[in-house]
Structure 1
């Protein structure tokens, strides 16, 4: 019992990094650590500031001013100094500007919503890249293992060929064939090890940490659509790229209204208080106050206002076309990914049968060679068939994993919440709520 207690203590204090890492762990780390994703979040926070900037046009503008003048007057009887000064404060309030500010605020809010969906699309892309890099490492590790086993098998065949040559049952040709195949297998192993290192480097770039205990993952199952039609329908509703494009249409529509507002009258009220002091005049220090209301009616501004309205309308038309383009692109991605998934699953089933049959054939060829009915070349050919089938199975398993997560990504379902990733979800709404009505302050929400 003492030994078991000691073992339990060791397991409890063992570092988490030593534990096997799943594909979900890799996606969670990428969600938290990926620099491109963190940069996109910072970009969204900058976009959030567009709302208080737009609202500022309808808030009071306060300005203070002060001035002083010193005059030296020289006379025959002597000199004299005269000074005067003034200090004042002016408050300007926009009362009506043709609804330009209102529409600019709405456009800024639509841009925020569009940027949120763009951030969600970036998150999905990073999660998919993490899943793909994890699956690539699992594939490359298995290929290295398969080729090591193949190398050991070929060494046995070379030893057997040499043994038969010594007792006069084989030929020098059999030995040469075995040596050539062994050398080729060594080259293939070196290539597969190099490919594994490259996949690990990509994993570190995306996830931000070295892979540990990578195992062959299964295709995605959480939130995976049951049919192609269902996948396409979900993607049309929930793909963030499409939703972002729709919000961009809203923003462009508000920009049209804002541009049209430049042709409407505007009303501004301004109040000023000024204090005058000094001995430059005979009057005593005095304070003046004034309130001014100004109505501005634009009649003609050189034609710029008309060009801006036409420009805004063309941009609105452009954004509407981009929505159609986004829908077509997403649909193509869903159909392609779903087809790849179905093909990969079919290849896995067929290849497993091929491996079983190829192993039986290899065993039979080896037995027939022992009685002189087969040659070393037949054995090597049969082994090559087994090797190719094993590597095809590993590649198909990788393709099935990547295709399944690609389907989730295209439908907008590859998220922290849907996959149950063990990482805190980034809430873009929190920053927006903090800054949307801010009147002043230089520090950002995180204290910078």
Structure 2
């Protein structure tokens, strides 16, 4: 499984797209930071100029050239530019955690595809064995019918069950073909003929958790939404900056030369100008746009808070459902295993009894179907348990470490991530105690005499 997940994480194009989104947000912040640095502009010109005649000179034209050099430095703008940098920095953090969340999601999909390939290969094998059992039974019934011992209706019934077994085999083969294509899409290459079983996650899972707080605080989807919320709050500060004056430092110099010599002196005219200024500007009226922008950004902040809260609730739900399934399947599998073992023994006994006429064909066929269903139920439960464990680890941001793999892009964590503050009251809103799974404990049935109603009591499965 580690190989499947590692190949998916390193080659899946969805992760490449997310990484480029992160790089884009990084450069977007760099663009905004440019507004805090000096701006230097140079301008030069050269061209023909014509001047009409005057009382002192005739009309003439000449080649004129010059240049200007200007320095501008923002001093104050109500911290609007600085808050824009901070806002984009937090949006960068959100994009980073979106990347991490996608890595977890792709890793989970790869692990699930790995398990499902194993599952449906085994389901196809069980269906093939079931088909072969029905084929053998049909052969025995046909021999009995041809020898005059069996009944014609038994042959029809055996042929019908054999046709159903064939249909089941085709269904499982189709399911296997589907999941093989899913594996190839996620991992990027065909599934190998032999897949190694998933490792044991018992040591990676909590034994008796009281809550899922640590899992919620580590979940990258929640962290991404928290970063977006704090970025939206900075957006409000950016909008408020429009109510402040702007102060700039400007310095410039330039030269403009007239290459036509003076008719009296024969010398060129050259104009040199330099200046240093503090320029203040303040908007007096903009049609209410600035006030509307503040209201707009506040609404965006409220929306970001709601998105964070329902994301937290969704993750809490997914963790609870995964934990419910883990507890249920752990309790259920021993009984499914007992059922399969008992049904297997019954099938052998029924076959022997059928051959000596003590069991009907219907008894034998029903037992074969029950054994097929018991085997499928046990194998599906075992694979479902692995998927539930993987799902819980995924939403706890522990899947890759549990598989012994390094988290990609750990070195790319933005420094602004240290500014994330997840309020305790927000955690309390979505946090719920670990689900009560007492009703998942097995029940023992104690039968009474004289057909009295049975007594049900909880027992532990050993």
TM-score (norm: length of structure 1):
0.85
- What is residue 409 of structure 1 aligned with on the other side? 394
Give the alignment of 1:408-427 within 5 angstroms: 408-415=393-400, 417-421=401-405, 425-427=408-410
- What is residue 214 of structure 1 aligned with on the other side? 195
* From 399, 402, 412, the counterpart of 2:384: 399
Give the alignment of 1:44-59 within 5 angstroms: 44-59=22-37
**Residue 358 of structure 1: how far off its partner (Å):** 0.5
Give the alignment of 1:349-428 within 5 angstroms: 349-415=334-400, 417-421=401-405, 425-427=408-410
**Residue 386 of structure 1: how far off its partner (Å):** 0.2
Q: Give the whole-Å Cα distance in 1 for the aligned partners of 2:145 and 2:305.
A: 78
Q: Give the whole-Å Cα distance in 2 for the aligned partners of 1:159 and 1:152.
A: 10
Kept in 2, the 8 Å contact 1:219–1:400? The answer is no
Q: Does 1:224 pair with 2:205?
A: yes
Q: Give the whole-Å Cα distance in 2 for the aligned partners of 1:263 and 1:351.
A: 70
Q: Give the whole-Å Cα distance in 1 for the aligned partners of 2:58 and 2:66.
A: 28
Deviation track 1:214-250 (CA, whole Å, cap 9, x = no partner) reads: 24435634532323534x2222221111111111121
- What is residue 13 of structure 2 aligned with on the other side? 35
* From 66, 69, 87, the counterpart of 2:44: 66
* From 26, 31, 34, the counterpart of 2:4: 26
Greater length-normalized contact order (CA 8 Å, ≥ 6 residues apart): 1
CA shift in 2, pair 1:381/1:426, >3 Å: same
Give the alignment of 1:160-199 within 5 angstroms: 160-199=140-179
Kept in 2, the 8 Å contact 1:100–1:261? The answer is yes
* From 415, 429, 444, the counterpart of 2:412: 429
**Residue 69 of structure 1: how far off its partner (Å):** 4.2
Give the alignment of 1:96-175 within 5 angstroms: 96-175=76-155
Q: Does 1:299 pair with 2:284?
A: yes
SS at match of 1:112: helix
SS at match of 1:63: strand
- Structure 2 segments unaligned to the other structure (5+ residues): 263-267, 416-462
- What is residue 217 of structure 2 aligned with on the other side? 237
- What is residue 444 of structure 2 aligned with on the other side? none
Kept in 1, the 8 Å contact 2:79–2:241? The answer is yes
Kept in 2, the 8 Å contact 1:115–1:244? The answer is yes
Q: Does 1:255 pair with 2:229?
A: no
Q: Give the whole-Å Cα distance in 2 for the aligned partners of 1:78 and 1:108.
A: 61
**Residue 280 of structure 1: how far off its partner (Å):** 5.0
**Residue 78 of structure 1: how far off its partner (Å):** 9.3
- What is residue 436 of structure 2 aligned with on the other side? none
Deviation track 1:322-378 (CA, whole Å, cap 9, x = no partner) reads: 222122111111111111222223332211111111111112212222222111221
CA shift in 2, pair 1:168/1:224, >3 Å: same
The alignment yields a C-alpha RMSD, in angstroms, of: 2.3
- Structure 1 segments unaligned to the other structure (5+ residues): 1-22, 434-448
Kept in 1, the 8 Å contact 2:315–2:395? The answer is yes
Aligned pairs, how many? 406
Q: Give the whole-Å Cα distance in 2 for the aligned partners of 1:222 and 1:115.
A: 32
* From 331, 340, 354, the counterpart of 2:316: 331
Kept in 1, the 8 Å contact 2:120–2:175? The answer is yes
Q: Give the whole-Å Cα distance in 2 for the aligned partners of 1:331 and 1:293.
A: 56
Q: Give the whole-Å Cα distance in 2 for the aligned partners of 1:253 and 1:281.
A: 63
SS at match of 2:61: strand
